[in-house]
Amino acid sequence: MHATKNHNRLRLVLLLGAFSALGPLTIDMYLPSFPQIAAEFGTQASLVQLSLTACLIGLGLGQIIMGPLSDVHGRRVPIIISLILYLIASFACAISPNIIYFIAARFVQGFAASAGIVISRAIIRDVYNGPELTKFFSLLMLVNNLFPLIAPVAGSGVISFTTWVGVFIVLGIIGLTLVIFATFNLKETLPVQNRVSGNFGELLSGIQTLLKDRQFIGYALAQGIMIGGVFAYVSGTPFIYQNIYGASPQWFAILFGSNGISLIIGSQVVGRFSHVVSERRFLVFGLLLSSVSSLAALTVIVLHGPLLGLVIPLFFFVASIGMTSTASFALAMESQSQRAGSASALLGLLPFLLGACTSPLVGIAGEYTAVPMGIIILSTSLLALLAYFGLAQKTQTKLARLQ
């Protein structure tokens, strides 16, 4: 019986991990192709980075739509429909005749990929709560965080045999595979009696209720602002590593992927020791670690330090994201059983909207300076600290006094 339960748990982790992995795959797999795409379309680096911005906006807006819809219609049907749309959008990217068409197709691709992220998280809340929620989410993060390791390496491998177009053909094939898996393996986890009304006004009312929850918003902002800084790192490092430090696409993929290991370490530490150390303590430690490591990275950048001097603090910066994402998600979702889809959508919306803002700012001073990236990751780290202590921690203290 215990073995069967563990088998079902592992199966669910892998299935949900595959769905949510569409996000990092869609973001990271084409990163080594940035210089090639810029040359292909005869455009500037900032416009290629704008395609990442469009994808992030799609990922953010898609979650705010697909999350509440899954509260109304269940989890299974919306995710299957979105996967079909992802398949179509991926091939649309591959046949893009110009950069404008490509940016538009990337928006649709991001929008479609959003369902895999937001609905997989809502499914976790349907099935688990308490420490089990934290542990399961950390397992999902383990599967999900492997893809930032794999995606750039796979992308550089693809473009070593073909062009950037091949990356999006591969993504389309992945989308087709997931459509098949979802159709035959995904069971509905939200019973009809637990669904909310399809009335649009009630959906908006539920979102407004979440927005008025200062503790929830504190956790959501802390996570969102931190990940907004990560997207500055994601958008900036392809040009910083390759154009400033002269790394090849393959070497860039290795350096970028190595930081994925730190992401895994950060999330797994939280899941492994959540029964000993509270999620709040992990969250505070992660926020402090991000502030220190991002300050160190900016110092190396300003002093024109060596590549290794930049890679090391960025390793710890990304590790802090693993901690803060896992801890803040568990803390924010714990009290949101009735509207798990909407809560998951808001938690997913903020990172991608903030990432959409930070990504193009990285290239604002040109392709041969890393200073904007350093300033952004330090600023987001400090703002995330402020959001936690100013909203979540302050509200928690008030509630404790009232009790």
Three-state secondary structure string covering 330-387: HHHHCCCCCCHHHHHHHHHHHHHHHHHHHHHHCCCCCCCCCHHHHHHHHHHHHHHHHH
- List Cα–Cα distances, 223 to 96, 135, 160, 267, 338, in angstroms: 34, 18, 36, 13, 22
Domain enclosing residue 148, as ranges: 2-184+206-395
pLDDT above 70 for 341: yes
Residues 6+ apart with CB under 8 A from 234: 27, 28, 31, 52, 355, 359
Of 132, 72, 127, 69, the residue nearest 345 (C-alpha): 69
User: Does residue 229 belong to any structural domain of this protein?
Assistant: yes
Two tokens at 365?
Answer: 């001073």
**What is Dmax (Cα atoms) for the chain?**
64
Angle between helical axes of 76-94 and 164-185 (0-180°, round to 10): 160
136: domain CATH number is: 1.20.1250.20
pLDDT above 60 for 165: yes
User: Does residue 196 belong to any structural domain of this protein?
Assistant: no
pLDDT at 155: 87
User: Does residue 402 belong to any structural domain of this protein?
Assistant: no
Give the mean pLDDT of 175-188. 90
Two tokens at 74?
Answer: 């269940």
pLDDT above 80 for 339: no
pLDDT at 256: 78
Whether residue 223 contacts residue 347, with contact meaning beta carbons closer than 8 Å, is answered with yes
pLDDT at 242: 83
The Cα 18–Cα 231 span in angstroms is 21
Give the mean pLDDT of 100-126. 90
User: Does residue 126 belong to any structural domain of this protein?
Assistant: yes
Of 167, 25, 169, the residue nearest 110 (C-alpha): 25
Give the mean pLDDT of 228-244. 83
Other residues' Cβ atoms within 10 Å of the Cβ of residue 196: 17
Look at 79-88, 181-190, 201-210, 343-352 and tell me which has the smallest mean pLDDT. 201-210
Residues 6+ apart with CB under 8 A from 215: 391, 392, 395, 396, 399
Residues 6+ apart with CB under 8 A from 11: none
The Cα 106–Cα 55 span in angstroms is 5
Band of pLDDT at residue 401, cut at 50, 70 and 90: low
The Cα 182–Cα 160 span in angstroms is 31
The Cα 8–Cα 73 span in angstroms is 24
pLDDT at 261: 81
User: Does residue 327 belong to any structural domain of this protein?
Assistant: yes
Q: Quote the number of domains for the chain.
A: 1
Look at 121-135, 262-276, 332-346 and tell me which has the smallest mean pLDDT. 332-346
Two tokens at 212?
Answer: 């008025």
Give the mean pLDDT of 260-286. 84
Band of pLDDT at residue 384, cut at 50, 70 and 90: very high
Look at 139-143, 303-307, 383-387 and tell me which has the smallest mean pLDDT. 139-143
User: Does residue 191 belong to any structural domain of this protein?
Assistant: no
- List Cα–Cα distances, 242 to 36, 63, 310, in angstroms: 12, 33, 14
Two tokens at 313?
Answer: 């603090």
The Cα 391–Cα 137 span in angstroms is 24
- Helix, strand, or coil here: 139? helix
User: Does residue 195 belong to any structural domain of this protein?
Assistant: no
Instruction: State percent of the chain over pLDDT 70.
Output: 89
